[in-house]
Structure 1
C-alpha cells in the first residue's frame, strides 16, 4: 500500500527532540570507552548473627549495596527494627528464610524427637540406634505419669525394657560371632563393631519411646517459628516443654565452644511471637469425633498389606477428606478402607468434613498437611516404629501418620531374627530361646502400658517399643518414589525398611511397569554380607 504525499511529508518532518536523543545515543563508537563496572564478587560470609544476616540479605531487594557493606552498617538493634516492620507488620515471611540457626536438643525422648523432626523442610541428625548403645542414656518419665499410681509401673517397665535390650544385644552378638567368621584381612575391632551394629538393628525393637536420644538441627527462622508453634500445640507435656526451651534458646546468648567471646542471641526477634496455635488442636477435636462416628462400622483394620499402593482419588476433595479421617483413625484402618467409606458419603457430607478442617484457621495459620493433595502415588505403609523413624527422613513426601497405639502388634521374632541376622545366626538365637525372650518382653510392656493408660493414655504411649507397628501414608511423585526405593533397598540399610521399600517397588512395578524400569532396586531376599557396612 502506498502512502499519500501528505503522509509522506508529515513523516519526513524533522523532529528536533527525537534527533537530539538519537544523536546522543548514536555517538561515534570510535571515541566511546567501555564503562568500568565493578568486578564480579563471589564470597562466603561467616561470623554474622543470623538476624543480621537475614537483614543483610533482605536488603538486596531494597538497596544497591553489597552484602558486606550492608553488614558493616548493621547492628542487632537495626536488624530488630527492620524485621519488626517488614516481617511482623507487613507480613514478608520469606525474610525469615534468610536466617539459619543451629540447635542441639539433647536428652529428649524418642517420642519427642519424632515430633521435633516432623518438618517438611528440615536438616539435622539424630542419634543412631545402629552405632550407639542406648542402655546408659536413660529414659524420660512423662509429667502425665509422675506422681500418679501409674508411676511405679512405668518406671519398672522402662527399666525392664532397657535391660532386655542390653541383654538381647549381647546375646545376639555372641550368636553372630558363632555364625560369621572374621576374615583374615578384617581387624578384630572392625569385625566386632560390625556385628554389634547388626545385633543393635534387631535389639532396637525393645527400646521404648521413652528412651532418651539427641537431635541436632539446622533450620531457617521461618521453619523454626512453625516448628515451635506446632510443638507448643502438642498434647504431650514434654514436647511442649521442648518447644518452650527451644524458643528460649533463641532469645539467650548462644553457645560458642570455639570462641571465648560472648555471643548474642541467635533469633531474639523472629521467633518472639511464636506461640501455640489453636487451629490444629481444634481440627483434631472435630476430626477425632468425625472419625469415631464414621469409621466405627468399618470393622477390623485391614492388615493384609505391609505396603499398599492406593488408587488416587479423581476429586481432590475426596482425597483431602480421606486423609483427614485416615490421620484420626484411632482404630488403625487402612487408607483404602477409609477411602471406600468416603466414596460412599454424600457430597454434602464430604463438604461438611472439609469445612470442619478449615473453619478454625486463623489469619497466620497455614493449611494443614492433610490438605496437600493431587499426588499420583500414595503408599499406605504398616511398619515397625524403628523403621518408620528411618523412612520419616524422606521429607519430600507428604507423610500422614496415624495415632500411636498398640493395636497393630509387633514384628514376629522369627521374621526379625532371620532378616537381621541371617539364617544361621537366627536359628541359633531362636534355639537359645531369644525369640521367646523378645516376644515376652514386648508383651509384658503392652500389659503394663494398659495399667498406665488408666492414668494417662499419653503417658502410656512412652512405653511403646520400637518393634510395634504404626500406619503411615506416604504421598509422592515418581521421582521421589524412585529415590526412596533406591536409597532404602541398599544392602547396607536396615532390614526392615529394605523390605518396605522393596514392596513399594513391586507395587509400583505392577501398576506402572514402564515407570519401574529405570529404578535400581535391590531385592532384600537376595544374598547379603553381614560384614558389609
Structure 2
C-alpha cells in the first residue's frame, strides 16, 4: 500500500506533479505556500506531501503566517529565497535598466535587444524615451527633448542609408547558401528552388538588418525606454526594492515603489521587510554608503580612447601553482596549503604545463566549462568602452564590476563603416549636440544628466574576473556573430592574459579572433536550415534587389 489513501491522493492532485514517486514538482498554486512548505519540510520528520495534507491544505493562511513569523521575528533570510517570481518591467530607461542589472545574485534578466530590434518607432506621435517630472518640470526640459529627438531623428534617417550601403558593400552573391537538392553551398545566383531562394533572402535580410542596427545603436540616448524581464527569488527582489528606493533618481525610486506593490499580491511575505523597519534601515545605509564614497576629481586628463588594460594579476608562477594544486586537490589527501607547496617544490614546469593541457584537451566545445580550480586566479581590468558595449559586458554576473556615472568626458566612437555609408558627419554632429545638452544639465545634476548621453559615448568601469569566468566571457564574446565592439574588447582581454599567463591561458580554447565581413550571416543561415529541417516555411522575405553601376535597379 502506498503512503496515501485514494482519498488523500485525490486531494493532493493539483498540488504536486505525482503522489507516488520520490521525485515530484510542487505545483500548488499559492506561491507563499510553496516556499513555506519547503522551509517547514526541512524541520519535519514527515514527507512533504504529508506535511501539506496535515498542515497546509485546510489552512489557507498557513504559509503567510509562517513567513511573517520566520522573517520578521527571526530574520532568517534564506527562507525568502524559496519564493520565486517572474516580473516584466516595461517602459524603463536604460539608466534604470542598468541599475537593476547591477544586482548579480538571485536575479536573471532578459532585455529588449538594441541589435535586432529597431528603436525608431513613435508612440502617440513621440519617440519613446524617459520623460519623468524630474526633467520635464525642470529648466532643462527643452534642451533635453531637443537632444533626444535629434538622436532618434538621426537614427531613423540614417537606418535606410546604412542598410543600402551594407547591401552594396556586402552583396548577397558574396555569400554561399545551402542548396537543398545537392546539399552543397552555392552562390545565391545559382540557387533554383524557391524554398532555397526564400531561405537565403531571409537569412541575408536578417543579417544586414542586424548589422545596420549595430552600426547605429550608438545614436540611442540612455533615456531610451526598454523592456526588462526579471526572474528571481524573494530575497533578491527585497534587496532590489530597497536599492531602487534609495536612488537619487526619481524614476528608480518610483520603480521600487511600483515593483513592491506588484509583488505584494503574489509574494508579499517575501518582500514585506522592504517596506518596514529593516527595509528603511537598508535604504538609509545604501544612501550613506553613496555619500561616504565622496567624489574625487582627477587632476589627470581622462582617457580619450577605448581602453582594455589588465592592471592587477598574480605572477605566472604563483597563478600556475595555485591552479594546478586546485586541479589535483579533489583526488588527493593533502590540505590545499600542503598540496600547493608540493606542486611548487616538486613538480617541474613541464609537469605543470602537461597538467593544464590535460584538462584543456578534455574540452570539446565552449559550453564545457573548465574545472572550478580556474576560479582561484583572478584579473582586474580597467575598461573604457562605449556605453552600448558596456551594456553587453554588464550581463556577465560571475564577476565584480564597479562603474561610474555615465558622462561625455571620454569622447565617443564612430564606426568607420558609417563614414563609408555617408552617415558619419550626421552621427557625430548629433552626438556632440547631446554632449552639449549633458554639460548644461550636469551643472545642476550630473546623475540626472546621464539620460541624455548617447550609447556611443565611452564609459569607464573596472572588472575583476576569475579565469574560469573569463574563459566563458571571451569565448562567448568573440563569436563571429557578436558586435564588433565587444569582440575587439574580449580579444584584447584574451591577448593580455595570454601574455602574462601563457600556460594557464591554454584553457581558453574556443576564442575566435578572426575578422568576418558579416558575422551574423552564419547563424542566420543555420537558423534557416533548422526551420527547413523541421518542415516549416522560411517565411516571406522581401526580394533582394541588385543595383547596376548606373544606380538603376
Cα distance in 2 for residues equivalent to 1:473 and 1:240:
26
Range that drifts further, 299-308 or 476-485: 299-308
Report the counterpart of residue 32 of structure 2 in structure 1: 51
Report the counterpart of residue 272 of structure 1 in structure 2: 272
TM-score by length of 2: 0.70
State the secondary structure of the residue aligned to 2:452.
Answer: coil
Structure 2 residue runs of 5 or longer lacking an equivalent are: 1-18, 123-127, 173-187, 316-374, 524-553
TM-score by length of 1: 0.72
Report the counterpart of residue 306 of structure 1 in structure 2: 307
Aligned pair partner of 1:79 in 63, 77, 89: 63
State the secondary structure of the residue aligned to 2:90.
Answer: strand
Residue 396 of structure 1 and its aligned partner are, at CA, apart by: 0.5
Residue 127 of structure 1 and its aligned partner are, at CA, apart by: 0.3
> What pairs with 1:8-23 in structure 2 (closer than 5 Å)?
none
Range that drifts further, 301-310 or 509-518: 301-310
Preserved CA contact (<8 Å) 1:502 1:524: no
Cα distance in 1 for residues equivalent to 2:420 and 2:207:
23
Aligned pair partner of 2:49 in 39, 48, 68: 68
Report the counterpart of residue 73 of structure 2 in structure 1: 89
Report the counterpart of residue 115 of structure 1 in structure 2: 99
> What pairs with 1:2-401 in structure 2 (closer than 5 Å)?
41-72=22-53, 73-74=55-56, 75-121=59-105, 122-136=107-121, 138-182=128-172, 183=188, 184=191, 185=196, 186-251=199-264, 265-274=265-274, 275-276=279-280, 277-289=283-295, 291-292=296-297, 296-297=298-299, 299-302=300-303, 306-312=307-313, 376-401=378-403
Preserved CA contact (<8 Å) 2:155 2:220: yes
Report the counterpart of residue 512 of structure 1 in structure 2: 501
Preserved CA contact (<8 Å) 2:405 2:450: no
Residue 39 of structure 1 and its aligned partner are, at CA, apart by: 7.1
Preserved CA contact (<8 Å) 2:305 2:410: no
Report the counterpart of residue 322 of structure 2 in structure 1: none
Report the counterpart of residue 183 of structure 2 in structure 1: none
Aligned pair partner of 1:501 in 490, 494, 501: 490
Are 2:538 and 1:525 equivalent residues in the alignment?
Answer: no
Residue 192 of structure 1 and its aligned partner are, at CA, apart by: 1.8
Cα distance in 2 for residues equivalent to 1:304 and 1:145:
31
Preserved CA contact (<8 Å) 1:111 1:209: yes
Range that drifts further, 178-187 or 503-512: 178-187
Residue 432 of structure 1 and its aligned partner are, at CA, apart by: 4.8
Structure 1 pair 193/528, CA: closer, same or farther in 2 (3 Å)?
closer
Cα distance in 1 for residues equivalent to 2:244 and 2:263:
15
User: Number of matched residues?
Assistant: 407
Preserved CA contact (<8 Å) 1:210 1:462: yes
Are 2:452 and 1:463 equivalent residues in the alignment?
Answer: yes
Preserved CA contact (<8 Å) 1:309 1:378: yes
Residue 94 of structure 1 and its aligned partner are, at CA, apart by: 0.4
Structure 1 residue runs of 5 or longer lacking an equivalent are: 1-37, 252-264, 315-372, 415-425
TM superposition outliers: structure 1 runs of 4+ over 6 Å? none
Preserved CA contact (<8 Å) 2:414 2:427: no
Preserved CA contact (<8 Å) 1:409 1:468: yes
Preserved CA contact (<8 Å) 1:382 1:472: yes
Structure 1 pair 169/68, CA: closer, same or farther in 2 (3 Å)?
farther
Structure 1 pair 508/303, CA: closer, same or farther in 2 (3 Å)?
farther
Preserved CA contact (<8 Å) 1:375 1:475: no
Residue 526 of structure 1 and its aligned partner are, at CA, apart by: 5.6
Preserved CA contact (<8 Å) 2:162 2:212: yes
The structure whose Rg is larger is 1
